[in-house]
């Protein structure tokens, strides 16, 4: 989840062979909008074409300057993948990613021609990209490692300037923390997020996110033990005092994700919608 960020340019060549286009969909949840990345110059792969916005699709095709052969997606939330099938239809590109799981907030129109597994590689105009499976924010989330530069394109796994929503049951806090640890192990030089600017200090940012989530988890555990029998909605003001009430709907989803992780860890027990501390 992110607030409106600073103004970002709509087109940026980050380095030769990597371009970024900003989709015109700014909002409370998308910050300045969704980042679409273009890899290659003689042949092009497009990552996360965003929602269906004709002007953005036209801008992707116009700025590609070469045949678009692949469309990759990080995950199938409505601000990342719905334009993929349109773009593939207009260009004949192959769709790569992981299929949409059942449930709300999923783009079921995205049906990959090639389902990516962890470690799968794609060569684009001399650029090698590797799929890194990173479930957590979404169960089908994939980051892409640019091997030569050691940059990771992180979609909504890590975004610039804010934390992301973990919305169960598709979102999983346990998976999210494991996927963050995985990203850190890869020791990237930069992170290119789905929202916001390039992140040049990945280690520090990943540590901050892990720390922030574990601090919140500790607060949830303390509140549970002090107030047994509350629902997630009742626990919310006790552990999200710092969050704007307008965001409580989403904060409740993340709180539920923390509660489910505590339950998995044997530190919380659920009876219907009421929670209490317990277990080991």
Count interface residues toward Zn ion (CB under 5 A): 2
| 20 is a site residue for Zn ion (CB under 5 A) | no
Least Å from the CB of residue 156 to Zn ion: 4
**Contact assessment for residue 145 and residue 185, using Cβ atoms and an 8 Å cutoff:** no
Residues 33-62 that bind Zn ion (CB under 5 A): none
Dig out the tokens for 36 from the structure: 């679409």
Least Å from the CB of residue 17 to Zn ion: 26
CA distances from 4 to 60, 242, 249, 264 (A): 23, 18, 18, 34
Q: Which of 207, 197, 191 is nearest to 146 (CA)?
A: 191
Q: In this complex, which beta carbon is closest to Zn ion, that of residue 77 or of residue 261?
A: 77
Dig out the tokens for 68 from the structure: 């678009």
Give the strand pairing for 142-146 and 151-155: antiparallel
d(CA 70, CA 216): 39
Contacts of 270 (CB under 8 A, 6+ apart): 259, 263
Least Å from the CB of residue 164 to Zn ion: 7
Q: Which stretch binds Zn ion (CB under 5 A): 154-162, 217-225, 244-252, 265-273?
A: 154-162
Options 48, 107, 156, 170; binder of Zn ion; rule CB under 5 A: 156
Least Å from the CB of residue 226 to Zn ion: 33
Residues 66-85 that bind Zn ion (CB under 5 A): 77
Q: In this complex, which beta carbon is closest to Zn ion, that of residue 77 or of residue 213?
A: 77
d(CA 181, CA 207): 9
Q: Which stretch binds Zn ion (CB under 5 A): 6-14, 37-45, 121-129, 155-163?
A: 155-163
Q: In this complex, which beta carbon is closest to Zn ion, that of residue 63 or of residue 162?
A: 162
Q: In this complex, which beta carbon is closest to Zn ion, that of residue 130 or of residue 156?
A: 156
Contacts of 160 (CB under 8 A, 6+ apart): 2, 5, 31, 193, 195, 196, 197, 198, 199
Least Å from the CB of residue 133 to Zn ion: 15
Q: In this complex, which beta carbon is closest to Zn ion, that of residue 17 or of residue 51?
A: 51
* Residues at the site binding Zn ion, with contacts judged by CB under 5 A: 77, 156
């Amino acid at each position: 989840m992110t607030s409106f960020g600073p103004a970002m340019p709509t087109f940026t060549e980050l380095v030769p062979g990597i371009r970024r286009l900003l989709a015109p969909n700014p909002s409370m949840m998308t910050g300045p909008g969704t980042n679409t990345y273009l890899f290659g110059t003689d042949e092009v792969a497009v990552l996360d074409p965003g929602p269906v916005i004709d002007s953005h699709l036209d801008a992707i095709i116009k700025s590609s300057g070469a045949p678009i052969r692949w469309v990759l997606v990080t995950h199938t939330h409505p601000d990342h993948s719905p334009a993929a099938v349109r773009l593939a239809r207009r260009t004949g590109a192959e769709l790569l990613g992981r299929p949409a799981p059942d449930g709300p907030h999923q783009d079921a129109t995205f049906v990959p021609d090639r389902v990516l597994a962890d470690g799968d590689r794609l060569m684009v105009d001399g650029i090698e990209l590797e799929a890194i499976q990173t479930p957590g924010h979404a169960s089908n989330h994939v980051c892409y490692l640019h091997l030569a530069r050691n940059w990771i394109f992180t979609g909504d796994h890590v975004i610039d300037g804010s934390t992301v929503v973990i919305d169960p049951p598709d979102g999983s806090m346990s998976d999210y923390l494991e996927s963050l640890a995985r990203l850190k192990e890869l020791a990237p030089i930069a992170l290119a997020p789905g929202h916001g600017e390039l992140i040049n200090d990945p280690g520090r940012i990943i540590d901050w996110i892990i720390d922030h989530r574990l601090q919140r988890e500790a607060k949830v555990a303390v509140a549970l033990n002090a107030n047994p029998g509350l629902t997630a909605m009742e626990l919310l003001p006790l552990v999200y005092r710092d969050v704007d009430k307008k965001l409580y709907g989403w904060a409740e989803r993340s709180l539920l994700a923390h509660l489910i992780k505590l339950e998995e860890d044997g530190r919380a027990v659920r009876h219907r919608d009421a929670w209490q501390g317990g277990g080991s």
